[in-house]
Amino acid sequence: MDALQLCMGKFPDFENTMKYLNMRLFSTLNLACVLGAMTILSGSSALAANAALPKLKALAPKPNYVIGRCVNMAGKPLAGIKIFIKGITMAGGQNTETFTKTKANGAFSIRVPDGSYTVYASHEVDAYDESYRFRLEALDGESDMQDSKDGVVEDFVWKIQGLRPDEKAKATSEREWNYSYYGARIYPETRRSLGQYTNLEDETSLSKTYPEDSKLEITLKPEGPLIDGSTGKTITGLLRMGDIGMWTFGVRNIPVGVYNASVKVITPDGQKIAVRCKVDAEGKNIDDVPWAPSARIVFPAETGEFGQSAKLYLAKP
């Protein structure tokens, strides 16, 4: 079973078609364990290894052709994937750009002039009343310029979680924390009082009610399949209350899907206290959205450079 990588972080913001899109240890939490269909992760050392990528039989290159295949993590072909080819021609050094799409078997093939080319793949998915766009990962981990004289071969895989190529699990900046993983992110907002929202903490807000060594236990239960059709797992993330305000205060690498979120505060003496939550609703001011024991999270399709994210507002019982 693949453990999901969950950690801490603060402000939101995924890729567009052609752009990819120290955490500090808190307390003594550095244990990751997987129990049945539930993944429990706490602390920045709880980042699990990436799932194994599918293995495809090597294709024989064709001179002056760009060829390849697109698959999901189960190795099943993906039809209709947009393939973008950018490069420079040998004759005159002209910049050139073209695109094609994969067929029903997930394969693509397009003739190109002599030159050097880079290949990208983008998957557009309509789901949850949203239109999502995902950049696929090259199976060899690279999308370098290749000479078309001997033929260009590039296979791609659609990942909805896991580290991006050349990224590090242990982030040393806010940008790395937001960008390193494919999955979506959730940012808890605990500085909300029982009345109107304020950017300033007050004595009635959740973060002022419980000691800094208290933890937030955020449980995410998937509603139906994930966006790639795979079966989701219940996810539980633990955050230290005293880390509010840090850019690592949040949960990341969540496979895109619809989740039911519930939250408890675990006090230093072991008490578990369920708190109320809510999320932004289209067309409504957040103060007009009622508090509830749980909140339904549908990640917006595009929320900026770093991908899908959602803010989860929390309040005392």
Q: What tens digit of pLDDT does each residue of 8-59 get? A: 333 333 333 333 333 332 333 333 333 333 444 443 323 344 678 899 999 9
Can you give the pLDDT at residue 303?
A: 56
Can you give the pLDDT at residue 287?
A: 81
Q: What tens digit of pLDDT does each residue of 223-243 get? A: 999 999 999 999 999 999 989
Question: Three-state secondary structure along the chain?
Answer: CCCCCCCCECCCCCCCCCCCCCCCCCCCCCCEEEECCEEEEECHHHCCCCCCCCCCCCCCCCCCEEEEEEEECCCCECCCCEEEEEEEECCCCCEEEEEEECCCCCEEEEECCCEEEEEEEEEEEEECCEEEEEECEECCCCCCCEECCCCEECCEEECCCCECCCCCCCCCCHHHHHHCECCEEEEEECCCCCCCCCCCCCCCCHHHHCCCCCEEEEEEEECCCCCCCCCCCEEEEEEEHHHCCCCECCEEEECCCEEEEEEEEECCCCCEEEEEEECCCCCCCHHHCCCECCEEEECCCCCCCCCCEEEEEEECC
pTM to 2 decimal places: 0.79
Which of 89-98, 123-132, 170-179 holds the top average pLDDT? Answer: 123-132
Can you give the pLDDT at residue 13?
A: 36
Specify the CATH class of 65-158 in words.
mainly beta
pLDDT higher than threshold 50 for residue 123? yes
pLDDT higher than threshold 80 for residue 201? no
Can you give the pLDDT at residue 4?
A: 33
Residue spans of the domains in the chain: they are: 32-51+164-315, 65-158
